[in-house]
Structure 1
Amino acid sequence: MLDLDLTITKEDEAEELVIVEDPENGIQNLVIDCEEPIVVLEQLIMEVPREPGDFFKRLLQMNRSLVHGAFV
């Protein structure tokens, strides 16, 4: 993370959890959770619309093309 010039804003070593940011590259409150053997990245992309039906349908469609990941 340091090589990527990400600023660590919070760290919980016991939970293997780090929150980083890089505002110049649109990264704000990116949660990195190390759950061996995987790394979980959580980033708020946008708020859910008031009428979410089509929104959730599109997210499910996009999930089909992701090899290792999902929009949730």
Structure 2
Amino acid sequence: AINGGVKLSTVAGAIHAYPTLAEISKKAAGSFYAEKLFSDRTKKILRFLFDLKGRACTPEGNAGG
């Protein structure tokens, strides 16, 4: 699939005659994306964005109160 240029989302969303094949595809796609979703870089970006939201939602402009 990778050499043929098929997207991982296409492979994960495919309907197979045997449920085990579908589960294998989902696990493969999940393993691939998990490395990116739970990386330190992603965590830092999310922490930064949520910190900005916290400061923007308080009247004083800071999350502490």
Scaled by the length of structure 2, the TM-score of the pair is: 0.27
Higher fraction of helix: 2
Rg comparison, structure with higher value:
2
